[in-house]
Amino acid sequence: MIESDKKYVIGIDFGTDSCRALIVNVYNGDEVAVGVSFYSRWKEGLYCDVRNNQYRQHPLDYIESMEEAIHAALSDLAGEEIASICGLCFDTTGSTPALVDCDGIPLALNPAFVEDPDAMFILWKDHTAVHEAKQINTLIKERHLDYLIYEGGTYSSEWVWSKVLHVLQTNPKVGDAAYSWVEHCDWMTGLVVGNTVPEKMYRSRCAAGHKAMWHEQWSLPSEKFLSELHPKLGAMLPHLYTKTYTSDTKAGVLTAEWADKLGLPEGIAVAVGAIDAHMGAVGASITPGVLVRIIGTSTCDILVADKKEIEDRCIEGICGQVDGSVIPGLVGFEAGQSAFGDIYAWFKEVLAWGLKSVPDGEMKQKILDGMLVELTREAEAIEPTHRSIVALDWLNGRRTPDADQNVTGAIAGLTLGSHAPEIFRALVEATAFGSRCIVEHMKEQGLRIDSVHAIGGISKKAPFVMQTLADVLNMPIRVVRSEQTCALGAAMFAAVAAGIYPDVSEAIQYMGTDIESEYRPEEKRHIVYENLYKKYLELAKLSENIKSIHD
């Protein structure tokens, strides 16, 4: 393609802590500007109850951060460059739903519910709906229904129906006011194109297929099934959707109101949104055989495959297989770990407990900031042996294989001589062992994994973790260069919606990023890890048995 003039698109990535707006040149993929805004209420810890696994985010955090991030990115552009912006697209965490009124407005924006966490967006890692997930799985099994055959066989508390059911059963006031529900990625798109009415809003194939049991064979679960779970769920069904859209679809154009608020040209194309990890896989130039690992507070593993290669197989124990959820025309597969970087942060907080009485200040922050750095330095110097401490990475439950948010983490092999760096190394190895479980599980069911691409904060900032991962998997790990890969993937879809490219595969060809580094496995260490991995699996079985005793 010959560049006739400059054109730009914006990929807007809503992560767990912040919103990032990335402006990209559609002809060569140059990332010309980025703006970042942290959610102010979330940063203060509002509406969350960590001990009870409750994580909620106010819709105003999303709106305010979007405006701030976009304005920050635009500040680096000249007026004529801003005028050359032709499209935008959102990616968000998921499943992150909110209950809404008949206009599609989240109930937290109603004065009556402005401080009610149940009226806000329920973040992906909220695990308050474990009981409801069990209800859903039990009913599906009792009725011999097919709703889970493309969802990996188990419905998770991290997904939309569990979360909505939990609110309906525990907060009747919010439940009675709810007309429908919406995923975060769909609401952001609907908001800026002026189409938030639940029955008319464009709904993401990605979010619907992986999180809401949508499939073209049956659409959403039946009214009879939903009503049996809760009458209000069945009543919501007519206010939801039957059709879904892949992200190469234009959902509408930016309204005059939002163009003015965001400082963007009115009428630019807005693509259908999707879940961040799936957009990140596109930003990482995913193709069949390439496993893209998004490594941050948790992990998400994305694969794509040709329909002919999969045929009629249903892959068990994962987070769904959905036609077009990543690349339209290919089947997308999702797996992942419920905690990865969060485990390291948890251990740091455990060690820092003694500082809680120390007044906040520069010295305290310096100690906290340096703690993980020092732990890493000491842990990296320890060579693993067959007698090393072994840990289990289920501190936030297990996403895959076989979702179960009731399981817990464990550490085995401690003695009075064990010290913090040894334990920290065991936790890092545990996250790598959990990753290996996923890779082996997918390969055993016939999915092809030729190479691994890594994106996300940990892939950039934690060489010790990445080398350990390569050693455990016994596979090279290639780190993608872009700092904002999820936003880059969203920008690629924006370019398709704007008519610059006919499909996202061609957008990847011109806008794709390259590989900045590679971690190669060390054979000597891998041999040791073969033995420790067997102990990890034994510890996992023991933890499962302990869970059944508690149940």
Assign domain 8-284+482-516 to a CATH class: alpha beta
pLDDT given at position 371: 86
**368 near 362, Cβ under 8 Å?**
no
Residue whose entry in the numeric block shows the structure tokens 């089947």: 331
Tell me the CB-side half-sphere exposure of residue 512, using CA atoms within 13 A: 17
Q: For 405-503, where are the alpha helices, taking DSSP H only?
A: 420-444, 457-461, 463-473, 485-497
Taking 80 as the threshold, does the pLDDT of residue 336 lie above it?
yes
Which 3 state secondary structure label does DSSP give 173? helix
Looking only at the bridges linking them, the beta strands covering 451-455 and 477-480 are parallel
Mean pLDDT of 40-56: 95
pLDDT given at position 372: 85
CA–CA separation, 511 and 505 (whole Å): 10
Decide which of 516 and 358 is more confident. 516
Q: Where exactly are the structural domains of the chain?
A: 8-284+482-516, 341-479+521-550
To 10 degrees, the CA torsion angle through 323, 327, 331, 337? Answer: -110
- Nearest of 465, 475, 469, 481 to residue 517 by alpha carbon: 481
Residue whose entry in the numeric block shows the structure tokens 């529900």: 181
Structure tokens at 496: 């398709």
What's 393-406 look like in SS3? CCECEECCCCCECC
Instruction: Kindly calculate the radius of gyration of the chain based on its CA atoms and give it in whole angstroms.
Output: 23
Structure tokens at 257: 């109101």
- Nearest of 301, 289, 286 to residue 336 by alpha carbon: 301
pLDDT band at 2 (very low <50, low <70, confident <90, very high): very low
DSSP H/E element including 21: strand 18-25
DSSP H/E element including 309: helix 307-310
Amino acid found at 314: C
What are the pLDDT digits (tens) for 429-479?
999 999 999 999 999 999 999 999 999 999 999 999 999 999 999 999 999
**131 near 302, Cβ under 8 Å?**
no
What are the pLDDT digits (tens) for 90-119?
999 999 999 999 999 999 999 999 999 999
Taking 60 as the threshold, does the pLDDT of residue 549 lie above it?
no
What are the pLDDT digits (tens) for 505-518?
999 999 999 999 99
Structure tokens at 213: 């049991």
pLDDT band at 123 (very low <50, low <70, confident <90, very high): very high
pLDDT given at position 3: 45
- CA angle 505/510/513 to nearest 5° reads 95
Sign of the dihedral through C-alpha 276, 103, 46, 133: negative
- Nearest of 108, 286, 274 to residue 185 by alpha carbon: 274
Structure tokens at 514: 């390259």
Q: For 462-499, where are the alpha helices, taking DSSP H only?
A: 463-473, 485-497
Average pLDDT, the chain: 95
pLDDT given at position 1: 42
Residues in the chain: 551
pLDDT band at 546 (very low <50, low <70, confident <90, very high): confident
CA–CA separation, 147 and 63 (whole Å): 34
Structure tokens at 3: 């560049």
What's 514-539 look like in SS3? CEEEEECCCHHHHHHHHHHHHHHHHH
Looking only at the bridges linking them, the beta strands covering 331-337 and 269-271 are unpaired
Amino acid found at 360: D
pLDDT given at position 548: 53
Sign of the dihedral through C-alpha 224, 225, 231, 237: negative
Sign of the dihedral through C-alpha 437, 438, 441, 442: negative
Mean pLDDT of 367-390: 92
The pTM of this model reads 0.93
DSSP 186-229: HHHHHHHHT---TTTS--BHHHHHHHS--BTTTBSPPHHHHHHH
Lowest-pLDDT range of 49-53, 221-225, 363-367, 440-444: 363-367
pLDDT band at 550 (very low <50, low <70, confident <90, very high): low
341-479+521-550 shares the fold of 8-284+482-516: yes
pLDDT band at 357 (very low <50, low <70, confident <90, very high): confident
**492 near 317, Cβ under 8 Å?**
no
pLDDT given at position 369: 80
Structure tokens at 498: 């704007």
DSSP H/E element including 253: strand 250-253
Assign domain 341-479+521-550 to a CATH class: alpha beta
